[in-house]
Structure 1
Amino acid sequence: MSESTRKTGTGLLGWTCVPHALVLYLSILCVLFNSCDTVDRSKFRTCEQSGFCKRQRAVKEGYSKYKVDLSSGQVSSSSDKVTFSVVNPDGGHKFVLDVIAYDGVFRVKMNEESPLLPRYEVEHALLPDLKTTPMQVSKGSDSWTLTIGKDDAIAQVFGDPLRIDFFSQRKKVAVFNGRSTLKFEHLRQKPDVNDEPKEGEDSENQVQEPSMWEESFGGNTDSKPRGPESIAADIDFPLTQSLYGLPEHADTLMLKDTTNSDPVRLYNLDVFEYELDNVMALYGAIPYVIAHSPESTVGVLWLNAAETWIDVGVSKGGLVDSIVNLVGGSEENKEGRTRWMSESGIIDTFFFMGPTPADVIRQYGKLTGTTPLPQMWSIGSHQCRWNYNDEDDLLTVDANFDKYDIPYDSIWLDIEYTDGKKYFTWDHHKFPHPVEMIQNISSKGRKLVTILDPHIKRESGYFLHEDATNQDLYVKDKNGKIYEGWCWPGSSSYLDFFDPKVRQYWASLFALDKFPSTLDTYIWNDMNEPSVFNGPEVTMPKDMMHYGNWEHRDVHNLYGLMHIMSTYEGLIQRSENRLRPFILTRSHYVGAQRYAAVWTGDNKADWGHLRASIPMCLSLSISGMSHCGADIGGFFHNPDAELVLRWYQTAAFQPFMRNHAHIETKRREPWLFGDQITALIRSAVQKRYALLPYWYTLFYENEKTGMPPMRPLWLQYPNDINTFPIQDQHMIGDGLLVHPVTDQGATNVQVYLPKGNWYDFYSHKKYEGGTHTLNVGEDSIPVFQRGGSIIPTKQRIRRSAFLMRRDPYTLYVALDENGEASGSLYSDDNESFEYREGHYVLNSIKFKNGRLSSKVVNPNSPFRTPEWVERIVIVGLNKKPSSIEARSKSVGQTSLEFEGDYPIVIRKPGVLITEDWEIEIA
């Protein structure tokens, strides 16, 4: 949902039209009436229009003269940290540089030694109580060498000028300030315009640009009371130009060269109907890059919550030449370059030393957290619209899913369910019986998801506004007055989630006696960039003040994280720590994966946005936000039947699957496009539900290791350079490769299969590694199972995931060239936190030497379930078996029926997943 109109009897968005709002209405007319075909770029800054970005981008290589005093008396060290003194000879300003060690990770922090005012350091993004690790420290003639482990990771700190080289397995993988473009704008007193520069004063003080102390854009003025305080540094990757990350952008998976364009921008903004192939800021900001080569992989996290721009250099010719050089083996222009520029804060940078992609993913997860195992229903299919009109409308839609035999697990309500856009209330004319309505839905195992945004309607008598005013819970302006902006309710104020008492208050509102609902109601946090219709760039002014006396400029990209943290705590308290929360967020930052799923925002109904959903979710997945999806059919405009079908087929193989649409679009429930399309959509959704056990197992592994369920091919095949630029197909775990059909009228697709055996997951046709041109019809979803994998499924498709929870499994066993395969199967109660206390069962399943066996990894688990294996499908056997026998505690030793010669289908082996078993194929 974004800034588009709803015509009501009381005016735009239900606001009462008053004279002082006329200017506002005119200024956002294009947005409100959804009459713009493209993004109104005049609303959003370019680097040239951003004072600090313009100053920092003008810095030339070799500018930085920062020196480290390497004398032993000026360096202090402990087992896990070394502290250096740094000076900028141009004026003599002093800094402190810390290098801290974690497991396979170096952290580099740089701050002023004695800042005029405190500088903000990001809170809440990292896991609490991080454990450091010891490192060895040695002094050389021109550097200090810091080593983690047995030469596994090395940081070499040079003094004149400051430079840090990072080595993984003796290969130089990253360089900090190698091009000497470090620039740290120290805090200073605002000079009098008549003052003459003092002798010896640094050049930063001598050059005074108007944007340093006040800056205007789009009719808004930023007072900048602290003056210039930006930071910037170059970080380069000597081994590779294959750089990934920096979500969220509607752009290619592999980062493109920005030499002749704006830098990549990270500044959480409400950008509706966003453009494709663009590095403009969107809803989320994760300042994280992975540099990958066949030789080594390294990750870099620039931990800063202020507006950030990143210049990327990958090739003189940009992405295309980079890929040509890569595939062709050319060493020319091999180095990947980045330069990070933030408006305020400190330099706080993590180097994840790998050396493999899986190592980097694991190291990142150990510091920022992983996605907790979601409830099973949340990885099913979701149905949403802005808005379902009333209870009858919602319950009719629910009933029609049953009528048309299409499974789904939750139905969603957008802002119109509230009483006049007042959150934690119900419109009692449209939704007079909310608890009874929810119980009607949950009787089929389904859930309701309601939207709760951070802007609060300024209306006398509204309990939340009254509480926030009386208890001092709102964000303030620079003069200490409650900030007032405009959003869906009209005049609104914004809760200051940085204040612990605000988070505690917000969490308390989810109690069932305060918000009439049930434990089967879950939450959608939208507009939390925060979106402010009349604010600069449709967000909050930077000089607003938050708890702790921090300006909004310091913490902007964290606001959404603080919002969902508060919601998560509320859902935890509501169920007395029993049920796993589900939250969907639009705004996100580092660490948001610990609390919420994410979707790609206000996309539109065209083929380009369908294609973009794949690289966008892949980029988010490798950056921690693994529970990702995009609005099926596009939020804006009206998709035709072909686009809707192909979008369902694509979304069925992404982690989060939701149909959602704008209030002014035509209704698009899956049965509204004719019988044939309805049948094909049903088939796609049923394929999703059959694979829920596999998805669930992958999400369990995701929590443990950080490895996302949806993966770019290079993450699984790190030495295959052909996979590096691929973004139109992806892996699900290590077992399935998917190439959705995303072009209008397509009759064929080209699929790249890495080396090895592959099998069409539905026809079981065998393919060798290489590029294949496949004919596709409207029912085609190219999905391939890797030889060597075992995929657990459930083939009894019911109305919801909840109703399938105790159904039996079908295992798909695909043999590799050695006749072997392996996989895992995880099961628990699908909803509670008891799995963290050992209440689950995990099976390790292997096929080797003609024997399929399953071993319970945790045999002492108290978890009990009647789930069993009712069918096994094996592809890749050289010849038809003569006999098949099963052995387990429950079945004893028994002969099994089987059919076919390719594939071999074993019927009703009857073995339980809570016990070890073995099936021998003679």
Structure 2
Amino acid sequence: MITNTELEYKGNLYPNQIISFNQDVDKFNFTSENGVILQITVLRNSALRFRYATENVFEPDFSYAISEDASRGYGDLEVSEEESYYLITTTKLKVLVDKLTMRIQISDHEGNIINEDEIGFHWEENYEYGGNTVKMSKITQNAESYFGMGDKATHSNLKGKRVNNWCMDQYAYGKDQDPLYKAIPFYIGLHKNQAYGIFFDNTFRSYFDFAHERRNVTSFWADGGEMNYYFFYGPEMSKVVKAYTNLTGTPELPPMWAMGYHQSKWSYFPESNVKALAAKFRELRIPCDALYLDIDYMDGFRCFTWDKKKFPDPKRMMAELNEDGFKTVVMIDPGIKIDKDYWVYQEAMEEDYFCKRGDGPYMKGKVWPGECHFPDFTNPEVREWWAELYKEFMSELGVHAVWNDMNEPAVMEVPTKTAPLDTRHNYDGHPCTHRKAHNIYGMQMVRATYEGIKKYVYPKRPFVITRAAYAGTQRYSSTWTGDNVATWEHLWLANVQVQRMCMSGMSFVGSDIGGFAEQPNGELFARWIQLGVFHPFCRVHSSGDHGDQEPWSFDTDVTDIVRKYIELRYQLLPYLYTMFWKYSKFGEPMLKPLVYFDQEDTQTHFRTDEFIFGDHILVCPVQEPNAQGRRMYIPRGKWYNYWDDNIVKGGKEQWVEADIDVIPLFIKEGAIIPKFPVQQYVGELVIEKLDLEVYFKLGTESSTVYEDAQDGYDYNKGDFSLRSFKMNGKENSLVIQQFKDGAFMTSYDSFRINLHGLPFAIESVEVDNEEVPLNEVKPNGNDVIEICKDFTQVIIKG
């Protein structure tokens, strides 16, 4: 612990000696002589909350980030008072509170220091706005690395970086540009194989310095509000990410079609062009599930209206598209055009739903329709009203999903690109200015949208997309990385940003494949598709200013490559759907950076390119032009090259061949990967057999396949199928056991098991203790067998 040396920074104030202490069940309150209260709450054995009040007063305890379903509870909990400190002990942690300085030290039961205050909490009065700038400084441990923080467009390891959180419209942003569209103030620290996480739940503009200014200090601070942060201990990084995600919530399962391939542009119109687009997909046999209508479908960019010249009968059009397997997704922005003849504007004015400036006039800003007012989505009445606006779109016209854009909120032709800071907000009964509400404005807009969509697509499941987000937005929406650029650098950025978002609790994420601004060439587009099909949200979107970015917009060779990888995504949909189920139920990120996958291997701590898709598929995009392959790091263990079944041993960097039609893909030995046949859209085919790609391993490995009706809510009533497979490979035999749960009856009645790397020729097959004639289970060669889906155990012997 740092000694009580006088450390003076001009204008900063610090807690001094603790003069009182009390415990209220799971809360421990420490009060200093100069009126600072530290409240430590034990949420779980390895999850703590730290709140600091000045002048003996806490602010109202309210947060948009925390999920109502967050887990609470702990085992043994003790507190003791020593001569110079208090000690709180859980079954996982020891928390030392210094009596003289109120500084914190957190260690495990073996005495290893996990996290320790440097200066600790300090603050500075904000003379311009009132309140305090609240600050926290921590000691940077030896060789400590940092990860997380949402959509930051920089190296995955944040050591040596300074970033800030302020949702910002950043058209054609560049590498290291900051801030961007998301504000997710959560990071993971890792040192000596000990992982922990800190979530600074403060919606004011916040800053994080990861040993940038001072190499031995990591600090975070905010322009107002409380010093209020949560601490999560692993020591496994997976436990940290899951604990944070549990606290801030996970989404319900989306419909499976939302995981298909989506096509978008600014903008597809009129109706004839949309119909031609759909027809081209089906003609060329390129799978696609959703087409997007950007702002040009509206009448003068007025939300919740249609341009009847471009779309004379949207209900008929969307019904016809749906018959061909296309869902229609429309954009809705927050800016409501100031127009006395516009019904949405009239309703909002009558009910006083628009944001106002500090001295009373309505907040006004220019967006696509011209001068606009902006609903106060922090007012629950406004959210309820906004949700009801979707009734006609969803229930009567047949829109399938909604995309909320420009919701930082973005305002044009002003230096700040957003609302004035004196704009007032209800903040669910805790009135404040835009300084506090800015970072959650987009979150509360998409929350209202989600509630409306969910109500009016019922009994189907909602699908919603947002550009702006704060921690916890994943409960309501998917997202993408914003207005990127068609460059190789942005292909690299898309890879890093999506991995980082998954580590930050928001896994349903992708990028504008091919780049939004400017125009890719065929090679870049092909390489981006190869990456994008392995992102949870898979959508091509472009500005349309520089040419088209449909799969067939380049030469036929590129079209064939694009088709190949979109088809691969559709084959892997049951694997992807299982990934989403694990994310929804357990908070497990859908993509795992190598450091998450194997934190013990220090070689993974600075890798940016490679990631694990789900549990068993290693992906490494090619991110340079004219490449015939690339060097990549293959993590420890044995991996099958997906393309030729060659087995490679990991734990080192190695060269991998990858011509223009190949992305390096490797399958972890022991994996069982479920596959569908190729469909042109989700639900086109009745699945008659489920392929199981079985990759032999000497030893044991487990895999899971989750299935349900792919839409609707019967899965909540037990109508799901959860199959857990355990493989045990030996030199002359392979045993696969299946454990089943759930009442859902799949459309198929058998598995086609494709065996990879089997080290022996099959002599016999035994299913549930009965030997089966080989001619009954091997219709397609020595390494393929077909068996009933309801087997409990199959033994393959050589």
**TM category, shorter:** over 0.9
- Per-residue deviation at 1:671? 0.9
Could you tell me which residue of structure 2 aligns to residue 100 of structure 1? 41
* Amino acid aligned to 2:796: E
Q: Is the 8 A contact 2:401 2:464 kept in 1?
A: yes
Q: 1:124 to 1:773 in 2, by over 3 A?
A: same
Could you tell me which residue of structure 1 aligns to residue 100 of structure 2? 160
- Per-residue deviation at 1:884? 2.7
Could you tell me which residue of structure 2 aligns to residue 523 of structure 1? 402
C-alpha separation in 1, matches of 2:460 and 2:33: 53
The partner residue of 2:122 within 183, 187, 201 is 183
C-alpha separation in 2, matches of 1:778 and 1:303: 44
* Amino acid aligned to 1:649: Q
Q: Are residues 1:275 and 2:174 paired?
A: yes
C-alpha separation in 1, matches of 2:8 and 2:367: 39
SS in structure 2 at match of 1:166? strand
The partner residue of 2:416 within 537, 556, 570 is 537
SS in structure 1 at match of 2:469? coil
C-alpha separation in 2, matches of 1:75 and 1:543: 39
Q: Are residues 1:75 and 2:17 paired?
A: no
Q: 1:425 to 1:438 in 2, by over 3 A?
A: same
Q: 1:182 to 1:467 in 2, by over 3 A?
A: same
The partner residue of 1:855 within 738, 745, 749 is 738
- Per-residue deviation at 1:762? 2.4
Comparing 410-419 and 436-445, the one that deviates more: 436-445
Comparing 636-645 and 441-450, the one that deviates more: 441-450
Q: Is the 8 A contact 1:478 1:543 kept in 2?
A: yes
SS in structure 1 at match of 2:796? strand
Could you tell me which residue of structure 1 aligns to residue 532 of structure 2? 651
The partner residue of 1:419 within 284, 287, 299 is 299
Comparing 128-137 and 452-461, the one that deviates more: 128-137
Q: Is the 8 A contact 2:482 2:512 kept in 1?
A: yes
Could you tell me which residue of structure 2 aligns to residue 613 of structure 1? 494
- Per-residue deviation at 1:437? 1.1
Could you tell me which residue of structure 2 aligns to residue 763 of structure 1? 644
Please give the per-residue CA displacement for 1:367-424, whole angstroms capped at 9, x wherever unaligned: 1112322211111110000000111111110110111110011000100001111111
Identity %: 30
Q: Is the 8 A contact 2:519 2:546 kept in 1?
A: yes
Could you tell me which residue of structure 2 aligns to residue 555 of structure 1? 437
Q: Are residues 1:136 and 2:102 paired?
A: no
C-alpha separation in 2, matches of 1:358 and 1:270: 32
Q: 1:866 to 1:112 in 2, by over 3 A?
A: same
C-alpha separation in 2, matches of 1:819 and 1:871: 22
C-alpha separation in 1, matches of 2:280 and 2:219: 53
C-alpha separation in 2, matches of 1:896 and 1:805: 22
4+ runs of 1 displaced by more than 6 Å?
Answer: 891-894
User: Which structure 2 residues correspond to residues 286-685 of structure 1 after superposition, within 5 A?
Assistant: 286-313=184-211, 337-512=217-392, 516-518=396-398, 521-547=400-426, 548-576=430-458, 578-685=459-566
- Per-residue deviation at 1:822? 2.4
User: Which structure 2 residues correspond to residues 219-234 of structure 1 after superposition, within 5 A?
Assistant: 224=129, 227=130, 229-234=132-137
Q: Is the 8 A contact 2:394 2:456 kept in 1?
A: no
C-alpha separation in 1, matches of 2:393 and 2:655: 59
SS in structure 1 at match of 2:188? strand
SS in structure 2 at match of 1:803? coil
* Amino acid aligned to 2:147: Y
SS in structure 1 at match of 2:470? coil
Gaps of 5+ in 2: 1-6
- Per-residue deviation at 1:918? 2.7
- Per-residue deviation at 1:915? 5.9
Q: Is the 8 A contact 1:287 1:302 kept in 2?
A: yes
C-alpha separation in 2, matches of 1:242 and 1:422: 47
Q: Is the 8 A contact 1:153 1:167 kept in 2?
A: yes
C-alpha separation in 2, matches of 1:702 and 1:513: 30
C-alpha separation in 2, matches of 1:688 and 1:420: 37
- Per-residue deviation at 1:663? 3.3
C-alpha separation in 2, matches of 1:708 and 1:79: 33
- Per-residue deviation at 1:786? 0.6
Q: Is the 8 A contact 2:131 2:225 kept in 1?
A: no
Could you tell me which residue of structure 2 aligns to residue 109 of structure 1? 51
User: Which structure 2 residues correspond to residues 756-835 of structure 1 after superposition, within 5 A?
Assistant: 756-769=637-650, 770-794=652-676, 796-804=677-685, 806-816=687-697, 818-835=698-715
SS in structure 1 at match of 2:30? strand
Q: Are residues 1:246 and 2:144 paired?
A: no
Q: Is the 8 A contact 1:121 1:345 kept in 2?
A: no
C-alpha separation in 2, matches of 1:804 and 1:624: 33
Q: Is the 8 A contact 2:411 2:417 kept in 1?
A: yes
Normalised TM-score (structure 2) = 0.94
Q: Is the 8 A contact 1:885 1:894 kept in 2?
A: no
Comparing 235-244 and 504-513, the one that deviates more: 235-244
SS in structure 1 at match of 2:230? strand
Could you tell me which residue of structure 2 aligns to residue 905 of structure 1? 783
User: Which structure 2 residues correspond to residues 841-880 of structure 1 after superposition, within 5 A?
Assistant: 841-849=721-729, 850-858=733-741, 861-880=742-761
Q: Is the 8 A contact 2:259 2:536 kept in 1?
A: yes
Comparing 629-638 and 863-872, the one that deviates more: 863-872
* Amino acid aligned to 2:413: N
Could you tell me which residue of structure 2 aligns to residue 742 of structure 1? 623
Please give the per-residue CA displacement for 1:47-89, whole angstroms capped at 9, x wherever unaligned: xxxxxxxxxxx974996641241x5xx211022110111344x
Q: 1:367 to 1:893 in 2, by over 3 A?
A: farther
Q: 1:747 to 1:107 in 2, by over 3 A?
A: same
* Amino acid aligned to 1:248: D
SS in structure 2 at match of 1:373? coil
SS in structure 2 at match of 1:506? helix
Q: 1:61 to 1:757 in 2, by over 3 A?
A: farther
Could you tell me which residue of structure 2 aligns to residue 320 of structure 1? none
Normalised TM-score (structure 1) = 0.81
Please give the per-residue CA displacement for 1:227-280, whole angstroms capped at 9, x wherever unaligned: 35211111335354210012222111100414xxxx3111001011001133x1
Could you tell me which residue of structure 1 aligns to residue 15 of structure 2? 66
Could you tell me which residue of structure 2 aligns to residue 235 of structure 1? 138
- Per-residue deviation at 1:728? 0.9
Q: Is the 8 A contact 1:145 1:154 kept in 2?
A: yes
Q: Is the 8 A contact 1:120 1:550 kept in 2?
A: no
C-alpha separation in 1, matches of 2:348 and 2:423: 17
C-alpha separation in 2, matches of 1:308 and 1:458: 33
Comparing 837-846 and 527-536, the one that deviates more: 527-536
Please give the per-residue CA displacement for 1:284-305, whole angstroms capped at 9, x wherever unaligned: 0100110123521100000000
Q: Is the 8 A contact 1:81 1:98 kept in 2?
A: yes
Could you tell me which residue of structure 1 aligns to residue 3 of structure 2? none
SS in structure 2 at match of 1:785? strand
- Per-residue deviation at 1:147? 1.8
Q: Is the 8 A contact 1:80 1:133 kept in 2?
A: no
Q: Is the 8 A contact 1:457 1:493 kept in 2?
A: yes
Please give the per-residue CA displacement for 1:294-340, whole angstroms capped at 9, x wherever unaligned: 52110000000011111111798xxxxxxxxxxxxxxxx7x6x3211
* Amino acid aligned to 2:169: D
C-alpha separation in 1, matches of 2:602 and 2:334: 45
Q: Are residues 1:265 and 2:141 paired?
A: no
Please give the per-residue CA displacement for 1:734-776, whole angstroms capped at 9, x wherever unaligned: 2010111111111220121122211011211111113221222
- Per-residue deviation at 1:346? 0.4
**Aligned residues: CA RMSD:** 2.4
